[in-house]
Structure 1
Amino acid sequence: MFTTRRYQHCAACGERVEYRMPSDDNRERAVCTVCQQIHYENPTNVVGTLPLADDGRVLLCRRAIEPRRGFWTLPAGFMELGETVAEGALRETQEEAGARVELQGLLSMINVVRAGQVHLFYRARLLDLDFAPGPESLEVALFHFSEIPWDDLAFKTVRATLEHQRAGRPELLITDV
């Protein structure tokens, strides 16, 4: 169960908040002790792609940042306000891998309840092989599925998404990790 409480002070007036259940709600919320503003804590979306070259190889990034620095991942990151899931996935792929892709449909939606996140990955076609690591990647490389460094993958969500693609399943993967 996700239990981290993010709010200590009200974003509206700066006073202290306390966690309690508002009368019209069914769970504890951060409620300002002065202005009574309710602050909702909701999951964060992580969006990305599983970029595939025309020969079936997948593009992976070796992380240059924590968590899991030095481990391999799909290009992905936190969705920003003002963008769609698809726009975020395209942006993250460009930022982390310098890759241009065409989205080919949502591949996986994975709930990471303990971290308060939902990870969404699109299947994507690499438009060319002109890519390079961005500031959050040490390197980027293409791998046949038999060559993927499975023991050095950064996250369970990446493994689940790669395994789903490797199995050739056309349906959307919806699961929890």
Structure 2
Amino acid sequence: MNGRYRLEPNFTRTVPPGDNVERQVCAECGFVDYQNPKIVAGSVVTWRDRILLCRRAIEPRRGYWTLPAGYLELNETPEEGAWREANEEACTDIEIDRILAIYSIPRISQVQIIYRARLKRHHFAAGPESEAVALFDWADIPWGDLAFPSVGWALRHHRDVIGREDFAPSSNPQAGL
């Protein structure tokens, strides 16, 4: 205690009034500490017919290939987040076209918003979270070394809509998570 004020909340697990889910609630003031899914924003970035992938320099899945993507920051739109992640992970500037897919991954409490995008110019480099960044022809994508299932989903969904402007965003494949 510091004077009359407690420095750390006194949380207990309970169902708050008007709710139906047990949550962390401060026993003193009633503050509810909601735990919500994380939003990931990223993009399938192309240069001509090639796809930009980043080899992860961080865990999880260090050394595996992924799309430029990551968690949204507070007060950031998904488009801003996708642009920022491409800039941070691949040191590049992209032009976002449209939403390619929205994936729900409840086992890790994520919703992923993936855009279709293009490099503004043929310039990229590994950022602090990437060991390497490269453009791949479809036949050369390192399928066995992709970091996450959703990377493969997005790449396949991207291939399905090449040249199309009239598609609805894809979602999780029927095979499940």
TM over 0.5: yes
Q: State the partner residue of 1:75.
A: 68
Per the alignment, in what secondary structure is the counterpart of residue 83 of structure 1? coil
Give 2:32's aligned residue. Answer: 38
Matches within 5 A, 1:21-60: 21-54=15-48, 56-60=49-53
SS in 2 for 1:174: coil
Count residues with an aligned counterpart: 165
Structure 2 matches for 1:131-142, cutoff 5 A? 131-142=124-135
How big is the shift at 1:13? Answer: 5.3
User: What is residue 5 of structure 1 aligned with on the other side?
Assistant: none
Larger radius of gyration: 2
In the alignment, which of 152, 155, 159 is matched to residue 148 of structure 2? 155
Structure 1 runs of 4+ off > 4 angstroms? none
Q: CA deviation at 1:40?
A: 0.8
- For structure 1, list consecutive stretches of 5 or more residues without a partner in the other structure: 1-11
Question: Which residue number in structure 2 is paired with residue 3 of structure 1?
Answer: none
Partners of 2:159 and 2:12 in 1: how far apart? 47
Output the amino acid matched with 1:65: I
8 Å Cα contact 1:13/1:35 also seen in 2: no
Whether 1:105 aligns to 2:98 is yes
Letter in 2 for 1:113: P
TM-score normalised according to structure 2 size: 0.89
Aligned partners of 2:144, 2:12: CA distance in 1, in Å? Answer: 43
Q: CA deviation at 1:171?
A: 2.6
1:91 and 2:88 aligned: no
Q: Determine the C-alpha separation between the residues in 2 that align with 1:51 and 1:113.
A: 25
- CA-CA distance at 1:35 after TM superposition: 1.5
The one-letter code matched in structure 1 to 2:9 is E
In structure 2, how many angstroms separate the alpha carbons of the residues matched to 1:151 and 1:36? Answer: 49
The answer for unaligned runs of 5 or more in structure 2 is 1-5
Question: What amino acid is aligned across from residue 19 of structure 1 in structure 2?
Answer: R
**Residues 17-75 of structure 1, C-alpha deviations (whole Å, 9 max, x = no match):** 11111120011111012211111111111111110112x10000000000000000000
CA RMSD, 1 decimal:
1.4
Aligned AA (1:174):
S
Counterpart of 1:6 in structure 2 is: none
Contact residue 48 and residue 75 of structure 1 kept, 8 A: yes
Structure 1 position 172 matched with structure 2 position 165: no
**Residue type of the partner of 2:171?**
I
Partners of 1:151 and 1:141 lie apart in 2 by 16
Fraction of identical pairs, as percent:
45
Cα distance in structure 2, aligned partners of 1:149 and 1:18: 47
